[in-house]
Amino acid sequence: MADRPVAIVGGGPAGLAAAVELRRRGVGDVVVIEREAEPGGIPRHARHQGFGLRDLRRPLSGPAYARRHADLARGAGVDLLTETMATGWARKGEGAPGALELTSPGGRSTLAAAAVVLATGCRERPRSARLVPGSRPAGVMTTGMLQQLVYLEGRPAGRRAVIVGAEHVSFSAVLTLAHGGARALGLTTELARHQTLAAFRLGARARYGVPLWTRTRLSEIRGRARVEEVELTELNSGRRRRLPCDTVIFSADWIPDHELAVSAGVELDEQTRGPAVDPGLHSSRPGVFAAGNVLHGAEQADVAALSGRHVAASVVRYLSSGDWPARRVPLICEPPLGWVAPNVLTAVGSAPARGHFALRAHEHLRVPRVRAIQDGRVLASARLPRLMPGRSARLSADWTARVDAESGPVALRLA
């Protein structure tokens, strides 16, 4: 039997927004499990501006945005457990999600909820996962660690840094490094272009004069105790050059923090590497929902929060009816399309958050036409302004009623 109706794992924007919306919809008892001492997720240490436009309708810095969400949750009567980590599942039974195993300074416990929302977010892939060879000196880190080092711990971040990546977060690292007293020497991307909003890029470049090295791979890290230099390879010419520096920031290249989802036994989508969910954010396992950036590489925080807000309606419906979508039709991308989320179609028929799918490509594509095809039948054909890695395009969901639930997977294909 469930101890409580809803447990949300993860107190970032998605989890907190889900909790607030569940309370607004009349769920009497909502618990959020957050492993950090402070709720708010990644925005806690992303001090740049630009958070909250789409969900709170006001521009905020990351920390202010994180505090605002935590205040809203507390104000809504959400039970917010901090320094509490869900480390796994106990009593995994048929049908129900099982009980979460929790560790906190108060002790070890289990929590069985009728519905569990996984809102565990995502993280940047580190140097090792990207298989960058060389020695293993100090001074190599992700943007997430850099932000915490500079903004939360007030620790030095080196003096001369190279940033791997050219997404929004990569340019934010230029600002973070400057705040920490370090200079960004340049950003590298293996692609032919950066993958961010031009305005933000120009802002960072104009202020700090940081070059962007496109079609360039950081091919080796050298140094003994601390980074001493890196080797950059120009992919078009094959030319290699050395660049002295003491810090390397691996930015972007996000991956869902999906361990708890895997141990819950939910299906993952091979392309997003997050739980495969339908537009109502139902996973393959009854009672287990997923929302926010655990579903895919990072969207901005306000988009994650809207995903959290969106999941509440499905949770409430499930709590009252106990129904779970049975027939799941996969929605898959064909290259150069990269991933789509949500990525399962079910007969429940709810629209995705904000009325559209998020779609990414492996390369930059201008005004591409994208078709949704099921068993040779074209269900939809849409022209998009652009597609690129690192940033999602919106694909309207107005065609999902034409999906045949008894038929094969739906493919998204470039026309």
Partner 1 sequence: MERDVVIVGAGVVGAAIARELARLDLRVTMLEAAPDVGAGTSKANTALLHTGFDAKPDTLEAGLVARGCELLREYAPRVGIPLEHPGALLVAWDEGQVGEFGGIVERAQANGYSAMRELDAAELYRREPNLGPGARGALEVPDEGLICPFTTPLAFATEAVLAGCELRTRTALTAAQRLPGGGFGLETGNGALTTRMLVNAAGLYSDEIDRLVGHCNFSVTPRRGELIVFDKLARPLVDHIVLAVPTKVSKGVLVSPTVFGNVMVGPTAVDIERKDDTSSTEEGLAYLRKETGRILPALLDHEVTAVYVGLRAATEHGDFQIAFADGYACVAGIRSTGLSASMAIAEHVRDGLGLGELEPRRGLAQPRMPNLGERFPRPFAQGELVEKDPDYGRIVCFCERVTRGEIRDALAGPIPPTDLDGLRRRTRAHMGRCQGFFCGARLDAMLAQAAGDG
Residue from 6, 60, 145, 410 that binds partner 1 (CB under 8 A)?
A: 145
Which tokens in the block code for residue 24? 């607004």
Which tokens in the block code for residue 113? 């909820």
The residue type at 5: P
Residue from 10, 40, 63, 134 that binds partner 1 (CB under 8 A)?
A: 134
Whether 264 and 96 have beta carbons less than 8 Å apart is answered as no
Give how many residues touch partner 1 by CB under 8 A. Answer: 42
Interactions with partner 1, residue window 54-83 (CB under 8 A): 83
Per-residue x/- mask for partner 1, residues 151 to 190, rule CB under 8 A? -xx-x-----------------------------------
Residue from 144, 279, 280, 389 that binds partner 1 (CB under 8 A)?
A: 144
138 binds partner 1 per the rule CB under 8 A: yes
Q: Which residues contact 397 (CB under 8 A, 6 or more apart)?
A: 279, 351, 352, 355, 356, 357
Return the number of the residue (144 or 279) whose C-beta is nearest partner 1.
144
- CA 210 – CA 249 distance, rounded (Å): 14
Residue from 1, 26, 57, 107 that binds partner 1 (CB under 8 A)?
A: 107
- Reference 187, options 14, 313, 177; nearest CA is 177
Return the number of the residue (156 or 211) whose C-beta is nearest partner 1.
156
Residue from 28, 95, 106, 244 that binds partner 1 (CB under 8 A)?
A: 106
Q: How buried is 224 (Cβ within 10 angstroms: 0-12 exposed, 13-18 middle, 19+ buried)? A: exposed
Residue 219 C-beta: closest distance to partner 1, Å: 7
- Reference 64, options 13, 121, 122, 14; nearest CA is 13
Residue from 259, 323, 334, 375 that binds partner 1 (CB under 8 A)?
A: 259
- CA 168 – CA 123 distance, rounded (Å): 14
Interactions with partner 1, residue window 260-319 (CB under 8 A): 262
Residue 136 C-beta: closest distance to partner 1, Å: 7
Q: Which residues pair with 212 in a beta bridge?
A: 187
Whether 304 and 13 have beta carbons less than 8 Å apart is answered as yes
148 binds partner 1 per the rule CB under 8 A: yes
Residue 137 C-beta: closest distance to partner 1, Å: 10
Q: Which residues pair with 108 in a beta bridge?
A: 103
Residue 213 C-beta: closest distance to partner 1, Å: 19
Residue from 255, 276, 344, 388 that binds partner 1 (CB under 8 A)?
A: 255
The residue type at 151: Y
Return the number of the residue (283 or 346) whose C-beta is nearest partner 1.
283
DSSP one-letter string for 183-215: EEEEEE-SSSS-BS-HHHHHHHHHHH---EE-S
47 binds partner 1 per the rule CB under 8 A: no
Residue 413 C-beta: closest distance to partner 1, Å: 24
3 binds partner 1 per the rule CB under 8 A: no
- CA 235 – CA 201 distance, rounded (Å): 22
- Reference 104, options 152, 30, 37; nearest CA is 37
What is the SS3 assignment for 148? helix
Hey, CA dihedral for 8, 142, 38, 14, is it positive or negative?
Answer: negative
239 binds partner 1 per the rule CB under 8 A: no
Return the number of the residue (105 or 385) whose C-beta is nearest partner 1.
105
Interface with partner 1 (CB under 8 A):
35, 83, 85, 87, 101, 103-109, 123-129, 131, 133-136, 138, 141-142, 144-145, 148-149, 152-153, 155, 219-220, 222, 224, 255, 257, 259, 262
